[in-house]
Structure 1
């Protein structure tokens, strides 16, 4: 949780921060079956990395399209500072194979605390 004591220090040293994320997968399939999926969630707690950085595990489900959805499970990049003591994480991952195909997902976590 953000308070006046820790607002100006890099919050990635706080193990309990869980960045939000949201996005859309890349398109898959061809013709009338061509589609993508949307997803959103929060990561797991920070996994400290030597050198004052961190990473996070994340797991989410996509929305449904024609009776199928996909799971997305991966680990984020290291923290990427964006100023004012905040940072993001880059994510590039593949979904599970469902309905005979998978999707790529490329996105960054959000910088704000959900309740700040």
Structure 2
């Protein structure tokens, strides 16, 4: 009888911990996502440069730059660098406030 109480208590604690972790929003430092907009990268074979395009949330191309070296977007530091550049490009964009968002199109 004592074993049943222990197993029941363990099951309740496990269920409570699973619900607690499911309620927290998952924001991993290993996968930083920008708050607004997004960026894409393009590297051609045989070239040492990377083309980076910055977009607003409405798929509007804000700017396009060429980085002189190949960017490895699997590295956390590179993704943070691109997110910072995206934020700076979006702040410089004057048409962002007047651009029609996709969800506003009827």
| TM, length-normalised to structure 1 | 0.29
More helix by share: 2
| TM, length-normalised to structure 2 | 0.30
Q: Which has the higher contact order (CA 8 A, sep 6+)?
A: 1
Q: Which has the larger radius of gyration?
A: 2
More strand by share: 1
